[in-house]
Amino acid sequence: MADIQLEVRDLRKTFHPGLFESDVEVLKGLSFEVRRGEIFGFLGPNGAGKTTTIKAITEIIFPDSGSIRVCGLPHTDLEAKRRLGFMTESPYIYRHLTGREFLRFCGELLGMQRSGLEERISRVLDEVAMDAHADRKMGAYSKGMLQRLALAQALLGEPDLLVLDEPLSGLDPVGRRDVRDIILQQAAAGTTVFFSSHIIPDVETICDRVAIIVEGRVRAVGSVAELMSDEAECSEATFVGAVPADLRTPLLASHVGSDASWARVSSAHRDALIQELADRGARLVSLNPVRSNLEDLLMRHYEGEGS
Amino acid sequence: MRAVVAIAANTFREAIRDRILYLFLGFAVVLLVGSKLFGMLTVGDETRIIKDLGLVAIQFFSMLIAVMMSLLLISREVDSRTVFNILAKPVRRWQFLLGKYLGLVAVVAVNLTLMTLLLVVVVWVYQHELDFMLFFAGAMTMLEMAVLAAFATLFAVLTRPILGSLMTLAVFVVGHMSEDLWLLTRQLPGAFARAVIATAYYLLPNLERFDFHTEVVHDLPIPAAAVVWACVYAIVIIVLVLYLANLRFRRKDLM
């Protein structure tokens, strides 16, 4: 078995909406690798290309160029698909089926043997705490119940790789904790998890490594600690007697309050700021070091792309 | 093949739970009221009129199912994005299409069987003997509907649902006017108009090949060659049309 469970190389995709609309280049040479047994976070703002990438991995759309390998096999290979469990963003449902019937249908699509299927269905229903509701029509399910059932069908085939698109969005706190626990249990059992989200705390909490995707490209990959170690420490200064807009020192962010002004400055420019405030006769009220978080990093990449 | 059967069964189950079989009740009303009405108005062999009315009604209601289901066949799976769940599994796109097609054919077949059984019973009430040839006529109508269902599948992947249904309906209507189209190609004055009509004639199926109503109602001999030819014709068209549908669908981005 391959050590790289998901390999995406130079993926490009442009959509052609119509005759009178301009083309939209969504993926611009996207590459990353997901190692066996890790929880890999795929973090980016809405419209960054996360769902398009997942649709390409699951063969719902076809990339213009690039390659995708799942568990060492081309992603179009049926064996690769058999080893992959996929949960869509906002689970879509067959209203006419009960939860159990839906899982039976999924098991048949996976080519599972009839003899073991019912037992496996009961097991995954139990895992996602849906056994009590399994014989109700899916049309009557709450969002949280649908999310759990969608996760159950992704787990049904005992996949080597779980691809989860925004699995925690729209859930209440209890539902979030439950689904998060299931993901962690799967990872502990050796399943590789590819986890797409735009919710930073979710990614920070459960992912071993993270790829930041902005405008169809991967901008950074690594563990949260690694990504943050590359980030320069910065300082936040509060002062009176000067307006941030007048300062020559490059500021990362600033705010003018009624009593005092506030500015964030990189470590490299901290001394210059202190000196300039002194030169201008302004009074430095406080100066505190702060560490960037994943949100700052994402925003920096996002704003960097936009500017 | 298991995936195809699973998708077909799911399509069938969805249609049944959507109460599409209620159309059978519509047929029953038309047949029972119509036979009573024609029984009162007609002098002579009223069972022939009941058979004729019944077979036409079977054809009409079966066509209605094919047209209505083509509205939902693929578009519901794509619009509700349940198709994502299917295609992410070890399922080829042609298997998905074939499953949807077979599901549609199964729904039409169940309806058609129920309608034919009812017609046989009604005729038995009037005639006091079972007319098994009605089953033959029903089977040939089923063949016609299998062809129509293939077109419904093609249009479902080519275009939007309403337009797809209208196009399926158009195939049914024009398919029963094939002989007239052929005559038109000889009688029209303009070369361009003749070419257009000739293209339609060659592109669309001749559904009259499956119509053995007159022979069944009037107890006329049915040439075996015509039946064999109708079966071969249906198989060729179904394979060709489903192949075209797959050609379009196999690399289609689903949004």
State which residues form the domain around B74.
2-249
Contact B85 A82 (CB under 8 A): no
Contact B5 A105 (CB under 8 A): no
- Are B150 and B142 in contact by the 8 Å Cβ rule? The answer is no
The residues, any chain, with a CB within 8 Å of residue A112's CB and separated by 6 or more, are A120, A156, A157
Contact A106 B17 (CB under 8 A): no
pLDDT of residue A307 exceeding 60, the answer is: no
Asked if A172 has any chain B CB less than 8 Å from its own CB, the reply is: no
Say if the ipTM goes beyond 0.90: no
> What is the β-pairing status of strands A253-256 and A261-266?
antiparallel
Cβ count within 10 A of residue A265: 24
Residue-level pLDDT at A75: 94
Q: Which of A109, A163, A166 would best serve as a mutation to test chain B binding (most B beta carbons within 10 A)?
A: A109
Over the stretch B16-39, which tens digit does the pLDDT of each residue have? Answer: 887 777 777 777 788 777 777 777
Q: Which of A14, A94, A103, A137 would best serve as a mutation to test chain B binding (most B beta carbons within 10 A)?
A: A94
pLDDT > 70: percent of chain B: 98
List Cα–Cα distances, A198 to A166, A167, A210, A213, B176, in angstroms: 8, 11, 12, 10, 56
Chain A neighbors of B87, CB-CB under 8 A: 58-60
**CA distance to partner chain B, nearest, from residue A101 (Å):** 10
H helix intervals, chain B: 2-17, 22-41, 46-72, 75-79, 82-87, 93-127, 133-158, 161-175, 178-187, 191-203, 213-217, 224-249
Contact B90 A15 (CB under 8 A): no
Asked if B186 has any chain A CB less than 8 Å from its own CB, the reply is: no
Separation of alpha carbons B64 and B108, rounded Å: 9
Contact B92 A84 (CB under 8 A): no
Over the stretch B71-91, which tens digit does the pLDDT of each residue have? Answer: 777 888 888 788 889 999 999
In chain B, whose CA is at the least distance from the CA of A79?
B90
Separation of alpha carbons A277 and A268, rounded Å: 16
**A30 burial level (CB within 10 Å; 0-12, 13-18, 19+):** buried
Q: How many domains does chain B have?
A: 1
Contact B6 A78 (CB under 8 A): no
Residue-level pLDDT at A272: 92
Q: Is residue B254 part of a domain?
A: no
Q: Is residue B255 part of a domain?
A: no
Q: Is residue B113 part of a domain?
A: yes
Which of A52-61, B118-127, B246-255: highest mean pLDDT? A52-61
Q: Is residue B8 part of a domain?
A: yes
Structural domains for chain A? 4-229 (3.40.50.300), 234-290 (no CATH)
Separation of alpha carbons B232 and B236, rounded Å: 6
- Are B106 and B145 in contact by the 8 Å Cβ rule? The answer is no
Of the candidates B6, B14, B254, which has its C-beta nearest A60's C-beta?
Answer: B254
* Amino acid found at B137: A
Residue-level pLDDT at B82: 87
**CA distance to partner chain A, nearest, from residue B151 (Å):** 24
> What is the β-pairing status of strands A283-290 and A73-74?
unpaired
Asked if A19 has any chain B CB less than 8 Å from its own CB, the reply is: no
Residue-level pLDDT at A95: 82
Contacts 24+ apart (CB under 8 A), B220-223: B222/B136
Two tokens, residue B178: 């094939």
Residue-level pLDDT at A302: 66
Residue pairs spanning A and B at CB distance below 8 A:
75
Asked if B113 has any chain A CB less than 8 Å from its own CB, the reply is: no
Contact B84 A153 (CB under 8 A): no
